[in-house]
Every structure is written in structure tokens, then in C-alpha cells.
A and B are shown apart, each in its own frame.
Chain A
Amino acid sequence: MNLVIGALVFWGAAWWVNLRIANGRGRDTRAARLAVPVLFGLTLLVLWEGLVRGLNVPGVILPPPSAIATRFAASLPILWVDFVQTFVKGALSGYVIGCGAAVATAIIIDRSPFLQRGLLPVGNFIAALPVIGIAPILVMWFGFDWQSKAAVVVVMVFFPMLVNTVQGLAASTAMQRDLMQTYSANYWQTLLKLRLPAAMPFVFNGLKISTTLALIGAIVAEFFGSPIKGMGFRISTEVGRLSLDMVWAEIAVAALAGSAFYGLVAAIEKGVTFWHPSQRG
């Protein structure tokens, strides 16, 4: 019971501190912007730990963070193998192929307004569908190993990426294109020097959306069959054995990988589209 009370007291204290910081004078400093969410996250962890231990919640329902951390540290080799299988082989290769194919397709159909008018609504439509459902089919076609996971990822990222790139290629203004025309620039010069750079904010928007989709696709596809490694495989088998600390450790890896992947793409975006108003602010 003391643990529960302790956790609640910590919550109250942390909340009070956050209120003080958020309404205090230094609230717009970098430190405050970092401290408040970190303290909030820490509070959640303390509450979780305190409540689970204090109320004796069984580990098969919700293990405390400390148990998850212990398990995480003890299972690094397995987690690493799963990470390589699912993220590096499945998600990353599918991401590269899918995004690359989408950009290439966008450039190929760029010269045909007819195809664009046809493909854009279809692409938008497909992008809103539960594409993940195609996973069982692709697992049948490409086998249990990472190739089928990569294929799922390719299908999942292709259409959002295509739609964004086509929109991006249309993003230059009429005036900018007229200017190129007064120089008698040809199609490829206009594409390379004007339209592709102008498309970059859109392309990166697609690339960012696709990072999350890629990881989801690779993990969920493993629910339909996989070799005896991989994050999705581990999650579904360990859930079956009710060793939830391992499941949570795997989820922590997924969360870290997901945000690191996104962060990396966002950092590259910052470098490439430094000129865009949204990046200057």
C-alpha cells in the first residue's frame, strides 16, 4: 500500500513542478520544453511501477517497468537478432524498394497528365485501405522469411509515397516554370533544377509517413508466418506463453526503432529542405 501512496505522492509532486515550470518565467526555454515532457514520462513510469507492485498485479497481466528493463538487459542478443530480422531485413529493404519505386513511377507518369489524373485518385483510395491485409497473400507467395515482409512493406509504402511525390512534382508555381521557359530549358533541366527540389518537402512528408508504415507492415506480416525469429514472431509467441515482460521489451525495441528511424528521416529532411518555411521557423 505504501508503494501506491508513494507513487501517487510522486505524481502530485511532479504535476506541481510541471505546473510551476509551465506557468513560470522560463517556460519557453529549451530546458523547460525538454524537462516537462521528460518529467511527465517519468511520472507515468513511477505510477506504473508503484501501482503494479503495490496492488500486486500479476506479471501475466502487466509487468512493472523494472521487470521489463531487467528482461530487456538480459535478452539483448535475442532482441538484436529479432531487430535485424524485422527491421533491417524486412522493414528497411522494403522501405527503400517501395519508396524508390514510387518516386520512379511518379517521374515516369509525370509526362502523362492523363495517367496522373487516373492514378492519383486510385492511389489516394488505396492509401486509405487496410493494405496490411495483403500480408497473408504475400507470405504465401514469397515464403516465411524476410522477403515476404519486405514485399508487404513495399506495397504499404508505395501508394502514400506515390501520391506525395506526384503532388510534390506539381508544387512549383506557374511563374517558376515560365521563368525556365524564358531560358528555353528542356524537360529534364526543368525537372532537375526546379521541380524535383520544389517537390522535396512533399517527398519527405511521404518518407516520414512511410517509416511508421514500414515497421507496422514488417511486424504484423510476421503474425501470418515467419521463421523462428523476428519482432512480430517474438511478440505473438511470447504472448502465447504469457511472458509479458519479453513482449514489453520487444515493444520497447519497436518504439525505439520507430522513433529513431523517423528522427533520422526528419534530420535528413532538415538538411535537404532547410529552405522551406516550415524548417526555418
Chain B
Amino acid sequence: MTEPVITAEKLDLTFQTNDGPVQALRDVNLTINKGDFVSFIGPSGCGKTTFLRVIAALEHPTGGHITVNGMTPDEARQSRAYGYVFQAAGLYPWRTIAGNIKLPLEIMGFPKAEQEERVKNVLQLVDLEGFGKKYPWQLSGGMQQRASIARALAFDADILLMDEPFGALDEIVRDHLNEQLLALWARTQKTIGFVTHSIPEAVYLSTKIVVMSPRPGRIADVIESPLPRERPLEIRDTPEFIAVAHRVREGLRAGHSYD
């Protein structure tokens, strides 16, 4: 179970902006194994989004090396390796929920009958049966975000990349979605990269927590979680959980320079 899916070596990325170069990533080394749930945590601007985008070939590194399933990110994208979930659900308002989930399937040329089949399956997976014919704006924020996860799952990508997917939702909805996400992960055995601002969320969900620090963006600490894969919500009150959270907080504090 330690087959590497994503390996990054000495990754650098510098944006050329009108105000001069901005180094978003410096010397990032990381290996993500198959079936890992990896959280990226760190203050705003430390390069979490950028790193996720590099994995998905939405940005290209200016230095270093990255492989996904032994290929370049571009090749991996061609082979439909990524399901990407953004902070906003970003569903197309002119398509129904089912139509939105079909969007990637149409683009990738799945046969019609299989499209229907897959839509049905993923709607079930995210607990949205019966909402296929609704339009996005008729659903709550949490349901929209679940629909966007369904859209990312529809074509069976190996890797699910999620950039603060629950950041805009309230705490109670968020707890609920976290539980569901863990269940989904257990059922589908996907590799998940997950960006968050919340320490409890990162610790609750992850097998591996990557703590990042800003200016320039780099990895401050990588924490392998000792928690079991099976995690009820109450696990957040156990000493093990609090110990991991403490270590994450220490890592964040070390990366910060308050001068």
C-alpha cells in the first residue's frame, strides 16, 4: 500500500508579475502514496493553491521535477487522472445537477447510456438521489458543494484534488460533509489532496498533513497521522487527536515570522 502516486522533487515556481517576480513555491519535496488523504495547511499566500494547480497541470513549475502516476502532470491529465473541486461549487447555472455531472463525461466522450449510469451512481455516493433534475441555484450551498464533488468523481479519476472545498460553508454543515467525505474516501480508495485553513479539519481527515509557510512558499513540516482510518466525529476529543493538532499548530507557528 505504499505505491507513490505523486512525487515532487525540488519544485520551484516563480510568477512574473508587474511588481516583479513572486516566488510561490521553493524547494518543495513531497511524495504522496496511493490511497493517502493528504491535507495542505498554512496561512494565506503560502502556495497551497499553487501546489495543487501544479499537480493538475494548471500551472507549470519553473524548476524541479514532478511526476504523477509516473507521467508528467499534462499526460496524467490527458488520461483523466484528476477530479478537481474548487472552493466555490462552480456549477453551471444553465445545467441541471445531472447535466453538470455529465459535463466531464460528455467532454471525455462516454457513451450516453454509461453517462446516465454514472450520474446515478455518483449522486448516490454524495447522497443527492432525487436532485438530478434540480438546478444548482435551487440547492443549498452544502448540497451544491456535494454536487461538485460528484462531478469530480463521475469519471473515476484516481486523484481527487480539493482546494478549500468547504471554506465557504458554516461549521455545522462542514462537520457533516467531513464525515461524508471520509466515508466516500473509505469506499472509493481514492488518493486525495485537500487544502484547508482549519487545523481540526486537517487532523480529522488526513493520513498525512503537510504544513506550509509563506514567503517563499515551502514545506515546514510533514506529519504522518497516527489516527486509525476509521474515524467517528468524537475522535476529536481524544488525546491522540489533540497531540497531532498541537504539532500542526507548532509547525504553523514556527513558519510564521511576526516581525
Do A and B touch each other in the complex, judged by CB within 8 A? Answer: yes
A positions within 8 Å CB-CB of B: 173, 175-176, 178-185, 189, 193-194, 197-198, 200, 273-277, 280
CA distance A175 to B88 in the complex (A): 9
With contacts A181-B58, A182-B82, A183-B107 taken as known, whether A275 is within 8 angstroms of B90 at the C-beta atoms is: no
The 9 A-B residue pairs with the shortest CB-CB distance in the complex, in nearest-first order:
A275-B93, A275-B94, A182-B84, A185-B107, A183-B104, A183-B107, A197-B94, A182-B82, A175-B90
Q: Are B90 and A280 in contact (CB under 8 A)?
A: no
Interface string of B197-220 (1 = CB under 8 A from A): 000000000000000000000000
State the Cβ distance, B87 to closest chain A Cβ, in Å: 8
Q: Does B257 contact A (CB under 8 A)?
A: no
Q: Are B77 and A182 in contact (CB under 8 A)?
A: yes
Q: Are A183 and B58 in contact (CB under 8 A)?
A: no
Interface residues on B, range: 20 to 34
CA distance A173 to B90 in the complex (A): 9
Q: Does B241 contact A (CB under 8 A)?
A: no
For B92, list chain A residues within 8 Å (CB). Answer: 176, 194, 197-198
State the Cβ distance, A179 to closest chain B Cβ, in Å: 6
Q: Are B106 and A179 in contact (CB under 8 A)?
A: no
A179-B84, A181-B58 known, 18 other contacts, Cβ within 8 Å: A178-B53, A178-B58, A180-B107, A181-B57, A181-B77, A182-B56, A183-B107, A184-B77, A184-B78, A184-B107, A185-B107, A189-B107, A197-B92, A200-B94, A273-B94, A275-B93, A275-B94, A275-B135
CA distance A197 to B94 in the complex (A): 7
B positions within 8 Å CB-CB of A: 53, 56-58, 77-78, 80, 82-84, 86, 88, 90, 92-94, 103-104, 106-108, 135, 137
For A173, list chain B residues within 8 Å (CB). Answer: 90
Q: Are B93 and A183 in contact (CB under 8 A)?
A: no
State the Cβ distance, A156 to closest chain B Cβ, in Å: 30
CA distance A125 to B250 in the complex (A): 59
Chain A residue nearest to B79 in the complex (CB): A184
20 A-B pairs, CB-CB below 8 angstroms? Answer: A173-B90, A175-B88, A178-B53, A178-B84, A181-B57, A182-B56, A182-B58, A183-B80, A183-B108, A184-B78, A184-B80, A189-B107, A193-B103, A193-B107, A197-B92, A274-B94, A275-B93, A275-B94, A275-B137, A280-B137
Chain B residue nearest to A172 in the complex (CB): B92
**Residue in contact with B90 in the complex, picked from A179, A197, A200, CB distance below 8 Å:** A179
CA distance A173 to B88 in the complex (A): 11
For A274, list chain B residues within 8 Å (CB). Answer: 94
For A193, list chain B residues within 8 Å (CB). Answer: 103, 106-107
CA distance A180 to B108 in the complex (A): 11
For B103, list chain A residues within 8 Å (CB). Answer: 183, 193
For B107, list chain A residues within 8 Å (CB). Answer: 180, 183-185, 189, 193
For A182, list chain B residues within 8 Å (CB). Answer: 56, 58, 77, 82-84
CA distance A185 to B78 in the complex (A): 9
CA distance A277 to B88 in the complex (A): 17
For A176, list chain B residues within 8 Å (CB). Answer: 90, 92
CA distance A12 to B92 in the complex (A): 52
Chain B residue nearest to A176 in the complex (CB): B90
